[in-house]
Structure 1
Amino acid sequence: MTTLPDEVKTFIVQQLACFDAPSAVVSAVKDEFAVAVTRQAVEAYDPNKVQGQRLSEELKALFAATRERFLADQAAIGVSHRMVRLRRLDRMVNKAEAQGNMSLAANLLEQAARECGDAFTNKRQNEVSGKDGQPLLAGGIAVTFIDGPGKPS
């Protein structure tokens, strides 16, 4: 196999650091750079794999930095935002309805309602405390137990 250009190596290391599967990285490299690589060649750029132990220190450092940034910044991932998820669900619902797949559309609508916080149910939240979290009754409730008909115990 020929030596890969540095930008392809960097791309592979960054994709692996973001937990992409080697097979997904293979297809991404083919789409992005029009370069054919094997899954085994991609695994050689993962320092956590046996084949990646011989990886250069520069690429190991890039892998570690990319993984750390990836784990720390979930805001960079689109689907971590509720509005992005709702927009995607909206597109899927419209497509499912256009194709006549009402069962899928109903499931997607239910998922969208879950994203909004149980908006698809008629549940109500009942407050079980008084104003500002205080007890409902200041003095409590007096309970008298009766042993028999009309006799207090």
Structure 2
Amino acid sequence: MAVLKDDVKLAIVQALACFDTPSQVAEQVKQEFGIVLARQQVAGYDPTKPSGKNLSQKLREVFSRTREAFLADISTIPIAQQAYRLRVLQRNLERADSRGNAAMVSTLLEQAAKELGGAFTNKRELTGKDGQPLAVASTNVHTAVTPEQLKEVVESVQAKF
């Protein structure tokens, strides 16, 4: 097990605090610092796991602050932004269209429409315009149907199917 410098330890703790997996963090450390680590060693820097029970108080505090900041501010995550999602959809749409993939084009157009229409949010408007009560249209129209008319409609529907 390699002895790590403080800057490497901080990078590991911060990445784990942002919910990166030990495998992902090990790969990041390899790319950034040129150090090959086992994912078990990386997992030892996560105080929420049993393997991180001996983590120093300083690194625990860094983990806690980083996790708190990460959870509080999603604006730094591109996919959390509608403009980014639409841009990716546009790129994929152009690629699918250039390849003649009509089914994918239709799917992407539908997804973009849902994105713009707010289908992927939890927001529900329970009031009318400007906070006024919802307008309810009165539909007190009663249509009497005779048993013969009902039988005729049922038979015509059955004949179609």
CA RMSD of aligned residues (A): 3.0
Secondary structure in structure 2 of the residue aligned to 1:115: helix
Distance change in 2, residues 1:142/1:118 (3 Å): closer
Equivalent residue pairs, number? 131
Alignment-derived partner of residue 46 in structure 1:
46
Paired amino acid for 1:115 = E
43 and 134 in structure 1: CA distance in 2 versus 1, 3 angstrom threshold: closer
1:102–1:23 CA distance, 2 compared to 1 (3 A)? farther
Deviation string for 1:58-94 (max 9, x for gaps)? 1100000000001111122111111111111111222
The answer for unaligned runs of 5 or more in structure 2 is: 120-127, 142-161
Q: TM-score, normalised by structure 1?
A: 0.72
User: In structure 2, how many angstroms separate the alpha carbons of the residues matched to 1:141 and 1:89?
Assistant: 42
2:67 maps to what in 1? 67
Provide Cα deviations, 1:98-118, integer angstroms capped at 9, x if missing partner. Answer: 344443333222211111117
Equivalent residue, structure 2, for 1:87:
87
TM (norm. structure 2) is 0.69
- In the alignment, structure 1 segments of 5+ residues that lack a partner are 120-127, 144-153
Counterpart Cα distance in 1 of 2:18 and 2:134: 48
Distance (Å, rounded) in 2 between the aligned partners of 1:116 and 1:56? 47
> What's the offset of the Cα at 1:40?
0.4
